[in-house]
Structure 1
């Protein structure tokens, strides 16, 4: 038989069951209901429900079928008008469990009345403040027993058959041979080795992205705000009291696929199940904020990495252990490692728990889908999430409310995480203040240096014509060319130009400065090289046409031939032709000073230090 798609709604007087049965014959429909039991049959569909409240057959019941949509709708009157049935969206829990085929079940779940159920809830309330210690087994007992894990620690030996997928799912090695105490020790050591102070400080002082993520509002924030401010002044009906949490069609389909079963948990194990539920929800809330509700390929990694229950198969014994474990892992593993994300996940987990079983179930279904679509993470569904989805539908509402209140009052400080975060942040702030002081001092020095330099700006502008000659040959050549075109020479400019280009003459008539230009008048090769230097050669020739000078040596050392204004005889004796030192002082090898003076002489012109008669 096929379990059809179904949905339950209610108003103060009726319970409405909608069943989708396409391609069925109307004549073959069979409906049976009595008390809390409801049965429906239309070949090949069969549905059997255990209702959360009692219904009655009093003549007001009615049913209809829409042939176009294939929807069969049944309206059943409530035994107590105005009674609110809880858990109508817990579809898995509504499906009646499969009965055993044996003659007598070995373990039977005893049903109790509504009054007795409330008394049992009050008696079984947990004191969340009590610290529990793990039972210490002897070494011989550990060797003989297998290590358990999974929902309610009811599974063992799973990873011995899944060695290939082990490293991609959990961090613990050999979980089937590692007891719970050793798992925790290894987890704490791994977290201490993974913590990166630089990454943590970077997220603190450069928190633009973190602030942006914290502005995101998940769906449960709006639902919680609606619950805290309900509409007043009108009686209850579906129009003014909409459901705070609704399931999608995919989520409903997944709920129908689950097999309804009962979990037999003792008080200690049930306490661990609730604590692990908080741990999983904390990791899920962080993932929602980190991706802003848009799941990606990192989503399954974020959830299982931040949850010690899923990553290290941890079994918690106190509520503080859950918070410290989650806080440490947030600061060690994910991309965003900020303490504000820890506190935000804690407050949002409290909201989800206060919204009730529907909100918790919706989050678990989302986690189930994320793991189902990831190849290695599906193992965690089999170990934890599937059983959590089934178990939460039957969880006690008062216990869930007590857990939500405990989470809401929880406080977690940085000092409890064990990474010396306060000292680390204080040291970083001191370094930051020192850097600011150094930058301020550097700015003051630069301002002081800038003041005199601005005062000298006018002087540098006045001497721009002089400094332009010192910057490069191209600038001086352009200025000399412009001067030759006008037919006038600035004496100061010609003097500076000669100081830049004229070499010193030693006792042998050779230049000392290798950067100066020398020329052998009698050597044709030298003449060719002179002509190859286009800019200086043309400039000097042009200068010779415009200016006629005579060179007079006022003081010369003994042994040096004099430079006369005659033909090329003097140039042949020296072997080289050189540019004479301009007006100013220079020294030869004997320490005598030469003073060179340029005076005009008709009929002559200057050609690289030698004088030639004008043609």
Structure 2
């Protein structure tokens, strides 16, 4: 028989069941309902439901068939009109047959002190005995459980090759929970990268962007909160979470089963649910609701329940584990993402088991489409999807309240996040102070920049000229007769050459005047620009240049031949006349490297 697709809805008086049976004979069908039982048969389809409330047969029931869509729509009267049936979206739990009462497997008996002698006589003294045999040490190794409610064992041993890409614990069948936790904490410490964390802490533009994303449960939670403030009864009747057809089909594919969980195991299951939802909320936030190839990795890596088969004992342990893994493994490692995931998980739990189931179905799809991760569906997610449909909503409400009251700080992670941030802030402040000091000094510099730069240029020029003059002295000592370069080159070099400051030649920073000191007189040499006509005249009168003879003191101790015609040169402001040039008003100093030609004045003025 084929289980058809179906969905349930309600109004105050009727429970409405819609059954899709394409290619079936509408004339051949059977319907049976009584109390909470409902059966439908139309070859080859068969559907049996356990309804969340009681219905009656009172003549108001009706059914209709749509041949175009191939759907049966059945209206069943409620036994108590106006009653609200919960869990109509929990299709897997509705498929379960009616629960049969059975005798308990374990019966509590009286204390042994009250045993009578007759009861002791009932002991079988002829019981068969077997001799004691020592068992090999390898056979005494304990097998440890894992998965949903710790219901699985020796499953992963044969899947070790595929498990390397799914879980981080090796050989989980022989590793106890305490050892798993110790290894997990050590792996997280080894993986933590302070540079990556601080980079996301300071350069958080991408973090701020993803935090602006609003998943579907935020708007639904606001709507529910608004209705809850207006009327509690209206809130109870409102359907906030709507499942897609793909999700409904997946719910129908699940095989319904019951879970016998003790109180301690149920506690582990609830905490594991929080851990998985936290990882899922982080994935939805950072990818803004879009799935990619890293989605399965994000969910399983951030959940220690999935990645390390961890069994938590408190909500605080869950939050600490999640916070540590967020700042150690994914691309975005910011603590605000941890806080955001916690708030989102609280909203989902407050919306009830419909919202939780919708998230679990999405996780199931993510793992189903990722090749190695399907194992996690078999171990955890499928069982969670079936189990969540049967629990009471008030349990999730209490869980949401406990999670909302729990606190998580950066110090709880044990990774010294606050110390790292404080040290980085100090370094940043020092850098800002240095930058500020540099900008202030640059603003003060323009007031004296011209004078300082001039003095620095003159000092550097003098030092370079000193070295040049020393080298010239050495070269002139080896060869007194140097070649006389052209007068044009000499005059051009006179304009551009640095000033000399050695042995009587010094530079005045305020004027461009050279002073040549002698034992008897001082002659000021003024660097002037020579007109073009004068250059031509100088070329013709090269024979009038006076060659300086080298002295032991160097070039600077040489005396200048001064023209006797001071009055003529003083009376001509535009420069010396041709006669003055011809009479030796110019002094030529030549060496092998640099010839210098100075225009000498004998006016006797001093600076």
| TM-score of the two chains, using structure 2 as the length reference | 0.72
What's the CA shift for 1:553?
A: 2.6
Distance in 2 (alpha carbons) for counterparts of 1:29 and 1:105: 33
1:565-591 deviation per Cα after TM superposition (whole angstroms, max 9, x unaligned): xxxxxxxxxxxxxxxxx95664659xx
Distance 1:235 1:557, change over 3 A: closer
CA contact (8 A) 1:52 1:85 kept: yes
Is 2:131 the partner of 1:169? no
TM-superposition CA deviations, 1:119-152 (whole Å, max 9, x none)? xxxxxxxxxxxxxxxxxxxxx8994321110000
Whether the 8 Å contact between 2:48 and 2:97 is mirrored in structure 1 is no
Deviation sequence 1:411-435 (CA, Å, 0-9, x none): 1111111011111111111111111
C-alpha deviation, 1:29, in angstroms = 1.0
Structure 2 contact 548–588 (Cα < 8 Å) conserved: no
Q: 1:441 Cα shift?
A: 0.9
Instruction: Measure how far apart 1:452 and its partner are.
Output: 2.9
Distance 1:179 1:554, change over 3 A: same
Change (3 A) 1:270 1:235: closer
Q: How does 1:357-376 map to 2 (within 5 A)?
A: 357-376=353-372
What is the match of residue 127 of structure 1? Answer: none
**Partners of 2:14 and 2:184 in 1: how far apart?**
54
1:258 and 2:250 correspond: no
Question: Could you tell me how far apart the structure 1 residues matched to 2:173 and 2:181 are?
Answer: 15
User: Could you list the per-position Cα deviations for residues 268-298 of structure 1 after superposition, in whole angstroms to 9, with x for gaps in the alignment?
Assistant: 0000000000000000000000100001111
Q: Which residue does 1:51 correspond to in 2?
A: 51
Which of 304, 307, 310 aligns to 2:303? It is: 307
Pairwise CA distance, 1:549: 3.9
Pair 1:151-2:143 in alignment:
no
- Please tell me whether the aligned partners of residues 548 and 589 of structure 2 are also in contact (alpha carbons under 8 angstroms): no
2:388 partner SS: helix
**Change in CA separation of 1:166 and 1:445 when aligned onto 2, cut-off 3 Å:** same
Gap change, CA 1:403 and 1:142, over 3 Å in 2: farther
Structure 1 residues 510-521: aligned runs within 5 Å? none
What CA distance in whole angstroms lies between the structure 2 residues aligned with 1:58 and 1:286?
52
Whether the 8 Å CA contact 2:142–2:174 is kept in 1: the answer is: no
1:439 maps onto 2:431 in alignment = no
Unaligned runs of 5+ residues in structure 2 are 107-136, 456-486, 498-531, 552-584, 601-607
Give the C-alpha shift of residue 457 in structure 1: 10
Cα separation, 1, equivalents of 2:65 and 2:292: 42
CA distance in 2, matches of 1:430, 1:235: 53
Say if 2:217 is the partner of 1:220. yes
Deviation at 1:597, TM superposition (A): 6.6
Partner of 1:19: 19
Structural RMSD (CA): 3.7
User: What is the match of residue 496 of structure 1?
Assistant: 492
User: Residue 190 of structure 1 is aligned with which of 187, 209, 233?
Assistant: 187
Q: Is the 8 A contact 2:490 2:597 kept in 1?
A: no
Task: Name the residue aligned to 2:68.
Answer: 68
Q: Given that residues 97 and 260 in structure 1 are in contact (C-alpha distance below 8 angstroms), is that contact kept between their aligned partners in structure 2?
A: no
In the other structure, the counterpart of 2:416 is: 420
Cα distance in 1 for partners of 2:413, 2:164 equals 26
Q: Paired residue for 1:604?
A: none
Match of 1:206 in 2: 203
What CA distance in whole angstroms lies between the structure 2 residues aligned with 1:196 and 1:235? 49
Once the two structures are superposed, the pairs formed by residues 196-595 of structure 1 within 5 Å of their partners are 196-230=193-227, 242-453=238-449, 495-497=491-493, 548-557=540-549, 586=589
CA 1:493–1:384: 2 relative to 1, 3 Å: same
Alpha-carbon distance in structure 1 between the residues aligned to 2:229 and 2:316: 38
Moved more, 401-410 or 302-311: 401-410
CA distance in 1, matches of 2:488, 2:448: 28
> Does the CA-based 8 Å contact 2:227-2:234 persist in structure 1?
no
Query: How many angstroms does 1:554 deviate by?
Result: 2.4
Task: String of CA shifts for 1:320-351, please: whole Å, max 9, x gaps.
Answer: 11010000000100111111111111111011
The verdict on how the C-alpha distance between 1:584 and 1:21 changes in structure 2, with shifts beyond 3 A counting, is: farther
Uncovered stretches (5+) of structure 1, i.e. residues with no partner: 110-139, 460-490, 502-539, 560-581, 599-615
CA distance 1:164–1:185, change in 2 (3 Å): same
State yes or no: 1:88 paired with 2:76. Answer: no
Q: What displacement does 1:449 show? A: 2.7
Q: Check whether the contact 1:556–1:594 (CA below 8 A) recurs between aligned residues.
A: no
Distance in structure 2 (CA, Å) of the matches to 1:343 and 1:299: 20
Distance in 2, matches of 1:588 and 1:245, equals: 101
3-state SS of 2:157 partner: coil
Residue 35 (str. 1) matches residue 35 (str. 2): yes
- Tell me how far 1:557 sits from its aligned partner: 3.1
Indicate how the Cα distance of structure 1 residues 45 and 403 shifts in structure 2: closer, same or farther if over 3 A, else same: same
1:288-316 per-residue CA deviation (whole Å, 9 max, x = no partner) reads: 00100001111000000000000000011
- Give the whole-Å Cα distance in 2 for the aligned partners of 1:586 and 1:213: 79
Displacement of 1:99:
9.4
Cα gap change, 1:344 to 1:556, in 2 (>3 Å): closer
Residue 59 and residue 235 in structure 1: after superposition, are their counterparts in 2 closer, same or farther (change >3 A)? farther
Aligned-residue offset at 1:451: 3.2
Contact 1:146 1:177 in 2 (8 A): yes
- Kept in 2: contact 1:357–1:397 (CA 8 A): yes
Query: Quick check: 2:39–2:48 contact (8 Å CA) kept in 1?
Result: yes
258-267 vs 91-100, which deviates more? 91-100
- After superposition, what is the alpha-carbon deviation per residue over 1:66-119, rounded to whole angstroms, capped at 9, x for unaligned? 11110100000000011000000000000024999xxx989899xxxxxxxxxx
d(CA) in 2 for partners of 1:230, 1:220:
15
Q: Deviations over 1:531-573 (max 9, x none)?
A: xxxxxxxxx9xx86997444313244399xxxxxxxxxxxxxx
Report the count of equivalent residues.
475
